Amino acid sequence: MSYSVLNTDGFEPIYISSDNKRTCIGIDSVLQEWLRANEDTLPSDIQAQVDAGTLTIADAD
Partner 1 sequence: MTKARTNASASPAVGRNIIINGAMNVAQRSASVTGIGASSGYSGPMDRFRISAGTTAGRLTASQTSDGPNGISANCLKFDCTTADTSIAAGEKLLIEQRFEGQNLQRIGKGVAGAKQVTVSFYVKANASFTFACELYDHDNSRQISKLFSVTSNWSRVELTFPADVDDGSSPFGDDNALSLSLFIALHAGSNFTSGTLNSSSWANATSANRHVGIDSFYSSTDNNFFLTGVQMEVGPVATEFEQEDFGTTLKKCQRYYYKTGITTSNQDPFGVGQGFSATVGDILTFFPTTMRIAPTALEQNGTATDYRIFGTGGNFTACSSVPTFNGCTTNSGRSRFTTADGNADRAAFFGNGTDASAYLAWSAEL
User: Nearest approach, Cβ of 47 to partner 1 (angstroms)?
Assistant: 21
Where does this chain bind partner 1 (CB under 8 A)?
6, 10-11, 14, 16, 20-25, 27-31
User: Nearest approach, Cβ of 36 to partner 1 (angstroms)?
Assistant: 12
Under a CB-based contact definition with an 8 Å cutoff, are residues 26 and 48 in contact? no
Q: Measured from the CB atom, is 27 or 48 closer to partner 1?
A: 27
Under a CB-based contact definition with an 8 Å cutoff, are residues 42 and 1 in contact? no
User: Nearest approach, Cβ of 35 to partner 1 (angstroms)?
Assistant: 13
Who's near 21: CB < 8 A, 6+ residues apart? Answer: none
